[in-house]
Amino acid sequence: MYNIILTLEPQKRRDKTNSYAFSIDVKNFKIEILDYELYSMSQKELMTLSYVCEIINENPSGIAQSKLTRRLQKIAREDYVEIVGLNALWNLLKKNNNNKFIIEKIRGQGRSGYTNFYKPL
């Protein structure tokens, strides 16, 4: 099966314009609409999200954000893999909340008195 995957993003934002991802089967020209968020990620984002999901799934009762980031950085160093920086990581985690895992705010040692806690779906 030969597929071409296209991601389209509007150059000028107008009312009701969205970004899309398509898969085109070149044998029968069948077009399928895909999840744009998944197909528009960079290799670093995909690798980071893969490691994050692996860490969260290893902790079925959940893991605090600080432990998650320490574990993520340790694994990436051991595997000699480049991952996204912390600010990009927070945005990536927020985008995938309720999609790949669940983020809960609990009372903790964070600056605001709360910390994010990550649980598998």
Q: What is the pLDDT of residues 36-84, one digit of tens each?
A: 877 888 889 989 999 999 999 998 888 888 899 999 999 999 999 999 9
Residue 8, beta-bridge partner list: 20
Q: Please give the Cα distance from 22 to 108 (Å, whole number).
A: 43
> How does residue 109 score in pLDDT terms, banded at 50, 70 and 90?
low
CA–CA dist 105, 116 (Å, integer): 5
Residues recorded for the chain: 121
The average confidence (pLDDT) of the chain is 86
Tokens of 31: 């077009």
Contacting residues for 115 by C-beta, under 8 A, at least 6 apart: 64, 65, 66, 105, 106, 107, 108, 109
